[in-house]
């Protein structure tokens, strides 16, 4: 059963400018293996976190660090949920989180499907 679907897009140049303008922004948004990735990959991960929040109904109080995008050995992106995000997913009965990322033509995009 589908519990939620979220999508988001991020203009890569605009995101890069935001990171340059506010150096602390990256530390507020990204954690673990996300830190230090190229800007297009960071923009895609930002879009993924936004899409996940939308799929969960955009509840207040979610921490950006509680949803980390990691890669399986195959290269497939997946979320590692913890803390506030894991609790919200559990509250909704989420059993699986499906994620796809892309970046091309100056835009990063992500789609999240929550399955119960």
Domains of the chain: residue spans and CATH:
2-115 (3.90.470.20)
Q: Is 56 exposed, middle or buried (0-12, 13-18, 19+ CB in 10 A)?
A: buried
Rg of the chain over all Cα atoms, to the nearest angstrom: 14
pLDDT at 112: 98
pLDDT at 104: 96
DSSP designation for 40? H
Quick one: pLDDT band at residue 8, thresholds 50, 70, 90? Answer: very high
pLDDT at 23: 87
Tell me the pTM: 0.96
35-49 per-position pLDDT tens digit: 999 999 999 999 999
């Amino acid at each position: 059963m589908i519990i939620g679907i979220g999508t988001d897009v991020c203009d890569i140049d605009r995101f890069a400018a935001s990171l340059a303008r506010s150096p602390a922004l990256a530390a507020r948004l990204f954690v673990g293996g996300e830190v230090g990735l190229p800007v297009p990959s960071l923009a895609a991960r930002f879009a993924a976190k936004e899409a996940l929040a939308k799929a969960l109904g955009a509840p207040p109080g979610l921490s950006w660090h509680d949803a980390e995008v990691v890669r399986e050995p195959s290269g497939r992106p997946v979320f590692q949920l913890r803390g506030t995000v894991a609790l919200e997913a559990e509250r909704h009965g989420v059993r699986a989180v499906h994620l796809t990322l892309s970046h091309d033509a100056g835009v990063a995009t992500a789609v999240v499907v929550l399955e119960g």
